[in-house]
Amino acid sequence: MNQDRVESLAQFHPFTRLNKLLEGTQPGGGNTPLLLSLGEPQFQPPAFATDAIANAKELWSKYPPTIGNVEFRAAAKAWLVRRYGIEPGFIDADRMIVPVSGTREALFHIALSAVAAGLPKGKAKVLMANPFYHTYAGAAVVAGGEPAFLPAGPETAFLPDPEAVPVSLLQEAAMVYLCSPANPQGSVADAAFWRRWIELARRHDFVIAADECYAEIYTGAPPAGAIEAAQASGSCDNVLVFHSLSKRSSAPGMRSGFVAGDARFISRQAQLINYGGVAVPLPILAASTLLWSDEAHVTENRQRYQASFDLAQKALGPIFGNVKPGGGFFLWLDVGDGEKAAVELWRQAAIKVLPGGYMARVDANGRNPGAPFIRVALVYEPQQLAGALERMAGVLGSFMAAGAEMKMSSGGQ
């Protein structure tokens, strides 16, 4: 990888930029620092999962199969059938599901295979919403492709509008990353959205990487999924869905998820694991099988997040209006200047958040669509968040008022 690509890769990492931004600023207010910048659930996974790992201790001495075991694949398939109402015969568990050691790694790897398949046909663009999860852009660069950013602001309900993508760009696309519920905005795609993107993917021969890691955290109806839209079309061609236990089961340390869909790309994903990835250890597979088979702990998690969003609405609603997302566990708050707000929250309240501009790139109009926002991850117990959200409201209320006063004094409208 040449120096230009190394520098390009570095610029996509938001937490490197955040550390630099806050360098030299001490967390203030006499408060214990609370890190709401990282989407890392701080709840404990169910005890039966850790028990399963302990009970399978003899399996640590065995190399895990790349495609996992029959029990895991059956549990993942059964969950897809329950969650999305697909017919059992639509998914071949042996050919269309592969466990992965963390979906971040799988989302990265898919760009390697998709761009490699696309380059001989002149298809090197990797499409993604703007703002976006940084792994998408980093994967595109490392794979030798070119990130292409699609508007995903309020005017498109924070999702990339398939009708607005130029045909010339679709023809150059090797793949598109689509995330619902979206990170960072929490917007939720409907079935029509998925159907239209699938139609375009097949017409223009590119891969859909449907990042659905937040699919089990929602505030209304369960979000539609790409795989149920694919079933309506009769096949999973050009469609891959990515699911994770990190968010669903509050088990980020297990590094366990799965990819399902187009058997051609599942095979390529398995080959990448064979050559340079990490297969999921058998004790982790044992625990994962149980987690995908249980819904009670997921319901409890969802209730916990709902309580946190209720607290956020109470504290921040008077400033921002409705702050509850359709899904996921992030607040996406328009504070006018995300960087300055992040510094003030750290300096005054010891609360670390992520400036939205670090998750976006300057658009065709010379504007960074994420710059006015901050992303706040509600990943602690509600009782831990209650005081923090009140402190946030105090800091942001003053911050917003000062910004409005400055704008008025400068003649702004």
Which pLDDT tens digit goes with each residue over 175-198? 999 999 999 999 999 999 999 999
**8-state DSSP, 129:** E
The amino acid at 93:
A
The amino acid at 411:
G
Give the count of beta carbons closer than 10 Å to the beta carbon of residue 296: 8
Q: Which fold, 3-44+297-409?
A: Aspartate Aminotransferase, domain 1 (3.90.1150)
Cα separation of 3 and 291, whole Å?
A: 43
Describe the strand order of the beta sheet including 373-377 as a list of residue ranges: 330-334, 373-377, 354-355
Residues ≥6 apart with Cβ < 8 Å to 410: none
Give kind and range of the element (H or E) at residue 81.
helix 70-84
Pairing of strands 354-355, 373-377: antiparallel
The region that residue 271 occupies, defined by phi over 0 for left and psi between -120 and 50 for alpha, beta otherwise, is: alpha
Cα separation of 47 and 25, whole Å?
A: 39
**Token pair belonging to 318:** 């008077």
**DSSP 3-state percent helix, strand, coil across the chain (nearest 5):** 50, 15, 35
Q: Are 242 and 208 in contact (CB under 8 A)?
A: no
Tell me the CB-side half-sphere exposure of residue 234, using CA atoms within 13 A.
2
Pairing of strands 239-244, 207-211: parallel
Low-confidence ranges of the chain (pLDDT < 50): 1-2, 413
pTM of the model: 0.94
Query: 215: helix, coil or strand?
Result: coil
Give kind and range of the element (H or E) at residue 406.
helix 382-409
Question: What residue spans define the domains of the chain?
Answer: 3-44+297-409, 47-293
Residue at token pair 């660069």: 141
Cα separation of 146 and 290, whole Å?
A: 39
Cα separation of 297 and 327, whole Å?
A: 17
Distance (Å) of CA 7 to CA 19, 21, 129, 131: 17, 18, 21, 20
Cite the DSSP H helix spans in 90-190: 103-118, 134-142, 167-172
**Token pair belonging to 141:** 């660069």
Cα separation of 334 and 319, whole Å?
A: 10
Cα separation of 241 and 262, whole Å?
A: 9
Residues ≥6 apart with Cβ < 8 Å to 6: none
Same fold, 3-44+297-409 and 47-293: no
- Answer yes or no: CATH 3.40.640.10 is held by domain 47-293: yes
Give kind and range of the element (H or E) at residue 233.
helix 226-233
